[in-house]
């Protein structure tokens, strides 16, 4: 395998450490590249960004100087849309395109709709988070921790819900779209991602809910390793 960079785009509420466990299972020649958005992690004192295009532009600004040599992009949930927008920006700027894009657990951008999570009460929103099974109960049941994490998660979810899809020329990049078997989305909602690429497209479901990626991490990273080994 060639040396690869893998640009990592976090899910809603996530930060640059969200995928730390991936390093255990990724091939040693794959180097994860992370970035931090305002209001998250080490930048928690900065104002949160409330628009998905602004969020994507911030990640693109940080990744742009490192776009060289073989690289791929990975995004889970909100990170999938950020990956899509960034790839469009890379093509606009005529920079080297990624060899592959890995997208997990997000419907195709053309099928996104406003779930109106912004009008949920905190109690309803917390119940929604519990359903997704992506946040430890230790946080969801701790009032002090919720005061820290809930605003950033709600802001990200609002950005997703209010994302307005802008179609563009399909990018010539191979794409893998994956989803959990227990996620309440039709296959067509995921496979419509292939409209965004003129490259090869692969779709598969894995056992689990929205955050199946951590339960199936060896298998997911194995797929990434095997895929990038072909380039």
Question: pTM for the full model?
Answer: 0.93
**H or E stretch including 8?**
strand 4-9
- Model pLDDT for residues 35-44, shown as the tens digit of each residue: 999 999 999 9
- Whether 71 is in a domain gets the answer yes
The count of domains in the chain is: 1
DSSP structure string for 31-77: EEE----TTSGGGTTSPPP--HHHHHHHHHHHHGGG--SSEEEEEET
For the residues 102-123, what does the mean pLDDT come to?
A: 87
> Which CATH number is 177's domain given?
3.40.50.1820
Residue 133 lies in a domain: no
Pair 81, 51: CB distance under 8 Å: no
Residue 52 is assigned to a structural domain of this protein: yes
Provide the 10 A C-beta neighbour count for residue 71. Answer: 22
Q: What is residue 138's predicted lDDT score, i.e. its pLDDT? A: 67
pLDDT, greater one: 66 or 167: 66
Residue 96 lies in a domain: yes
Instruction: Please state whether beta strands 4-9 and 174-180 pair in parallel, antiparallel, or not at all (unpaired).
Output: unpaired
Domain that holds residue 19: 4-112+165-228
Q: How confident is the model at residue 115 (pLDDT cuts 50, 70, 90)?
A: confident
Using CA atoms, how far apart are residues 78 and 13, in angstroms rounded to an integer?
Answer: 9
Q: Is residue 215 part of a domain?
A: yes
Would 137 be classed as within a structural domain?
Answer: no
Q: Is 132 inside a domain boundary?
A: no
In this structure, is residue 138 part of a structural domain? no
Query: CB-side exposure of 126: number of CA atoms within 13 Å?
Result: 16
* CA angle at 55 for the pair 52 and 60, rounded to the nearest 5°: 125
């Amino acid at each position: 395998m060639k040396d690869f960079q893998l640009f990592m785009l976090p899910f809603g509420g996530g930060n640059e450490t969200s995928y730390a466990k991936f390093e255990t299972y990724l091939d040693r020649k794959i180097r994860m590249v992370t970035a931090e958005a305002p209001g998250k992690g080490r930048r928690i004192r900065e104002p949160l960004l409330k628009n998905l295009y602004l969020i994507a532009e911030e990640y693109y600004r940080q990744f742009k100087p490192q776009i060289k040599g073989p690289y791929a992009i990975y995004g889970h949930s909100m990170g999938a849309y950020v990956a899509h927008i960034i790839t469009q920006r890379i093509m606009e700027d005529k920079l080297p395109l990624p060899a592959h894009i890995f997208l997990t657990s997000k419907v195709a951008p053309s099928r996104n709709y406003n779930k109106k999570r912004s009008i949920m009460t905190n109690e309803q929103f917390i119940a929604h988070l519990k359903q997704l099974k992506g946040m430890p109960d230790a946080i969801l049941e701790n009032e002090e921790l919720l005061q820290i994490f809930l605003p950033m998660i709600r802001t990200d979810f609002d950005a997703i819900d209010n994302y307005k899809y802008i179609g563009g020329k399909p990018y010539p990049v191979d794409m893998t779209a994956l989803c959990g078997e227990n996620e309440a989305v039709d296959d067509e909602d995921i496979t419509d991602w292939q409209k965004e690429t003129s490259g090869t497209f692969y779709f598969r479901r894995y056992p689990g809910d929205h955050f199946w990626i951590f339960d199936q991490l060896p298998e997911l990273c194995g797929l990434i390793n095997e895929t990038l080994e072909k380039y």
